[in-house]
């Protein structure tokens, strides 16, 4: 064999060994990435229950908030209605007081003992 043939064979063997080594390294790296991805998925699955609970708690609190707001609005409407009723009663009482004062004035006018003379 000639020196050129030996060099070509050696270079070819080195290239084949390098390609095979690179292929094995890439394969091992992919397996490592797959294992890492599986680990990440497992941790995510473990956290899913806790996240679901947090979401449920948030929705429960939001529902209670809406109920409290509705109750507050109902109480405000009731308070407004009571305030209007109080205004009507105040007005009626003021009218009654004015009528009562007129009756007393009239009684004083009719009563000879309360008349003040000129």
Token pair recorded at residue 48 = 């899913």
> Above 60 in pLDDT, residue 117?
no
Q: What is the pLDDT of residues 79-110, one digit of tens each?
A: 999 999 999 999 999 999 999 999 999 998 88
What confidence score (pLDDT) does residue 99 get? 94
Q: What is the pLDDT of residues 9-54, one digit of tens each?
A: 999 999 999 999 999 999 999 999 999 999 999 999 999 999 999 9
Q: What is the pLDDT of residues 52-63, one digit of tens each?
A: 999 999 999 999
What confidence score (pLDDT) does residue 116 get? 58
| 3-state secondary structure (DSSP) of residue 30 | helix
Distance CA 111, CA 105 (A): 10
How would DSSP label each residue in 35-96?
HHHHHHHHHHHHHHHHHHHHHHHHHHHHHHHHHHHHHHHHHHHHHHHHHHHHHHHHHHHHHH
């Amino acid at each position: 064999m000639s020196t050129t043939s030996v060099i070509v064979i050696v270079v070819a063997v080195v290239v084949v060994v390098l390609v095979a080594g690179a292929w094995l390294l890439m394969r091992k790296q992919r397996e490592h990435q797959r294992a890492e991805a599986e680990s990440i998925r497992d941790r995510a699955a473990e956290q899913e229950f806790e996240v679901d609970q947090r979401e449920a708690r948030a929705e429960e609190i939001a529902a209670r908030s809406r109920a409290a707001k509705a109750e507050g609005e109902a109480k405000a409407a009731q308070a407004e209605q009571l305030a209007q009723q109080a205004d009507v009663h105040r007005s009626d009482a003021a009218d009654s007081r004015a009528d009562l004062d007129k009756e007393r004035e009239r009684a004083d006018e009719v009563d000879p003992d309360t008349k003040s003379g000129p």
